[in-house]
Amino acid sequence: MEIFFARYELRLRRPWRIARTAQGPEAEALRRETIFVRLRDEDGVEGWGEGSPSLRYGESAETAAAALRRVDPAWLSFERPGVARARLRSELTRDRAARCALSLALTDGAARRRGLGLARFLGLEPPRTPRLSSVTVGIDRPERVREKARELRAYPRLKLKLGVPEDRELFRAFREGAPDNVTRVDANEGWPSVEEALRRLEWLAADGRVEFVEQPLPASLPLEEHLRLKERSPLPLFADESCLDAADAERCAAAFHGVNVKVVKTGGVAEAKETLEAARARGLQTMLGGMVESSLSVTATAHLAALADYLDLDGAWLTANDPFRGVWIDEGGVVRFDAAEGRAGIGVEPRREARLEWRRI
């Protein structure tokens, strides 16, 4: 097996800030580096993957590239992707972005070898029925939040990032821009205590159009704090930073009403499927999400739509230089699967104008 990888800088259409990056410089809020992997077997069959590293999990494009350089091509095979993934799990324990890129590429190549779309290859119904995704308004000055919300009014599901001292002001500005849209709120661990979280949950619930709240408390707080909040919360709570993979499903079922599953947190699309199944088996609601990433990751994720109650697939929609063409979100907020439909594997196509500099391992 030959392994190639490329680092790529995604440019954001608008500054992208969440609770933990709210104070960062504008230049940093306009870029995000991701990693692509391309595997090619002896017969010339290829598999592609992506892993968008997040500093929250101690990863960067540097650490992901370093992890990829440690990979022995002999570990990888499209014939036995399950064995290869198990090897990657033990060799790249902490490097989830690199593991995700390789695991996606393995699953993509294995599905392409069998001529099957990724959903079918994983034993799922391919996503066909149009469904809504949320699109996100990041943290910004109130006047810019108002303006962004106004621009996005045609999208029936919005997600608003909160988790800063100015939350109330930001939410008011958001509602001035988008008075009626059903809205998900993501605090990204920004509310330091149960009491602080409850105060905000109460005025968010009084709004009447907030669907649920993602990750109110820091994941590092003791489980009892999360349990205490769930007991008193007037709105459903979803785990994101508290739910990395299937191993967290049990704890999350106690402390949350739902989970946000992302391929890069679980380490691949087969792993994300396991996580969704573990969550559903415990009665959790499920949302499919992602990082800021290209439509390679988004399309791989979308193949799991049959297992998700909610879709939050705007990772590539946020960017201005997506190097792939795949699943996308139209101007009414509907996820369009048609580009990948009928194709083997993940089903994306590189855009002609995209310049990826592949290096061989």
Query: Smallest distance from the beta carbon of 314 to Mg ion, in angstroms?
Result: 12
- Contact between 240 and Mg ion per CB under 5 A: yes
Q: Among positive and negative, which fits the CA dihedral 187, 226, 293, 54?
A: positive
Question: What is the distance between the alpha carbons of residues 54 and 292, in angstroms, rounded to a whole number?
Answer: 9
Applying CB under 5 A, the site for Mg ion has a residue count of 3
Query: Smallest distance from the beta carbon of 241 to Mg ion, in angstroms?
Result: 7
Among 186, 189, 248, 322, binds Mg ion (CB under 5 A): 186
- Contact between 189 and Mg ion per CB under 5 A: no
One-character DSSP codes across 251-277: HHHHH-SEEEE-HHHHTSHHHHHHHHH
- Least Cα distance to 151 among 164, 163, 138 occurs for 138
Q: Which is nearer to Mg ion, 68 or 288 (CB)?
A: 288
Contacting residues for 264 by C-beta, under 8 A, at least 6 apart: 51, 52, 53, 54, 96, 97, 100, 290, 291, 293, 297
Query: Smallest distance from the beta carbon of 356 to Mg ion, in angstroms?
Result: 28
Question: What is the distance between the alpha carbons of residues 215 and 238, in angstroms, rounded to a whole number?
Answer: 6
Q: Which of residues 316-355 bind Mg ion (CB under 5 A)?
A: none
Query: Smallest distance from the beta carbon of 256 to Mg ion, in angstroms?
Result: 12
Q: Which is nearer to Mg ion, 41 or 241 (CB)?
A: 241
Whether residue 278 contacts residue 303, with contact meaning beta carbons closer than 8 Å, is answered with no
Whether residue 164 contacts residue 200, with contact meaning beta carbons closer than 8 Å, is answered with no
Residue nearest to Mg ion (CB): 240
- Least Cα distance to 174 among 154, 193, 151, 199 occurs for 151
- Tracing tokens 């324990």 back to the chain, one arrives at 93
Q: Which is nearer to Mg ion, 59 or 214 (CB)?
A: 214
Name the segment binding Mg ion (CB under 5 A); options: 171-179, 184-192, 194-202, 221-229.
184-192
Name the segment binding Mg ion (CB under 5 A); options: 79-87, 102-110, 213-221, 313-321.
213-221
Query: Smallest distance from the beta carbon of 24 to Mg ion, in angstroms?
Result: 17
Query: Smallest distance from the beta carbon of 15 to Mg ion, in angstroms?
Result: 18
Among 41, 95, 214, 245, binds Mg ion (CB under 5 A): 214
Q: What is the DSSP letter of 36?
A: E
- Contact between 312 and Mg ion per CB under 5 A: no
Q: Which is nearer to Mg ion, 108 or 214 (CB)?
A: 214
Q: How many other β-carbons are positioned within 10 Å of the β-carbon of residue 257?
A: 18
Name the segment binding Mg ion (CB under 5 A); options: 5-13, 181-189, 278-286, 308-316.
181-189
Binding positions for Mg ion, rule: CB under 5 A? 186, 214, 240
